[in-house]
Every structure is written in structure tokens, then in C-alpha cells.
Amino acid sequence: MFREFREFINRGNVIDLAVAVVIGAAFGKIVTSFVEGIIMPPIGLILGRVDFASLFFDLSGQNPASLADAKARGLPVIAYGAFLNDVIGFLIIAFVVFLIVRAVNRLKSKQVVGPVTAKDCPHCLTTIPLKATRCSACCVELPVG
């Protein structure tokens, strides 16, 4: 069992996945900091000095002064401001992932293809050398050129 586990771990995909998870977690923290510290304050200022992280809807009817007050008193609230921050963070991460995948796909599509050395027979679709004048599979004479 230990040998199988070692073989599983030694596969390149598992190690690549582990690295991706660690980098993704670190990137998530950076994006959260970016959203909460840089993106949301100007938006809140434009919308009338609103701190999105502290927006909530009171379900108890006791009208707490702040989200922190409601949490300290154990009151039921819907903290939609934190949800908005998380949605914006998700959209930023999704956009960055899209840009990375798009760049990788462009790099893959620009790979240099070697010179063409074969063609398909128009009758039997067997692959034959470019200079062949007769198909080796169906014996049909091929046009020159």
C-alpha cells in the first residue's frame, strides 16, 4: 500500500495539483485584500461613504448599531455586504484565470509545425509520401504535384 501511495504521489499531475492549490490559496488572499482594501473603498465613497463589508439586514427587529454589534449579541442577520465583496473577488479571480487560459491557448496554437512530408490518398485516405505517384494501399495513380 505504501508503494502504491508513493507511485501516486510521484506522478507529475499530483505534484502540479498541490502546487496549484497552494498558489491558488495565496492568490485568493491577495485578491481578497485587493477587493477589500483597494476596490471597495472608492466604490463605497462614490455611493455615499458606504463600507460594503459592514452592510447587513437585521432579521431580529432589534436594530443593532453595526454588524459587529449584531454578531456580538448573537442576532440573526444577513451580511450581504461581505457577500458582495466575495462576489467581486470571485469575478476578479475568474477573469484572471480566463486571461491565463487564453494566453496558454494562444501559445499552444502558435506552436511551429514541421514541414509536411505526407499526404492522404484521395481514394482510400491512406497516408503516403508527398513524392509518391501511386498509392501503396489501393494502387491508384496519383496526380503529380
Q: What is the mean pLDDT of each run of 10 residues along the chain (145 residues)?
A: 78 76 86 81 79 84 88 90 84 84 82 74 85 85 75
What is the rounded CA–CA span in Å between residue 130 and residue 39? 60
| Per-residue model confidence (pLDDT) at position 108 | 79
Q: pTM for this one?
A: 0.54
| Per-residue model confidence (pLDDT) at position 113 | 64
| Per-residue model confidence (pLDDT) at position 125 | 84
Record the cell numbers describing residue 90, joined without a space. Answer: 470571485
| Per-residue model confidence (pLDDT) at position 76 | 92
**CB contact at 8 A, 80 and 57:** yes
> In the chain, what are the domains?
2-111 (1.10.1200.120), 116-145 (no CATH)
Q: Is 82 exposed, middle or buried (0-12, 13-18, 19+ CB in 10 A)?
A: middle
| Per-residue model confidence (pLDDT) at position 20 | 84
What is the rounded CA–CA span in Å between residue 122 and residue 143? 10
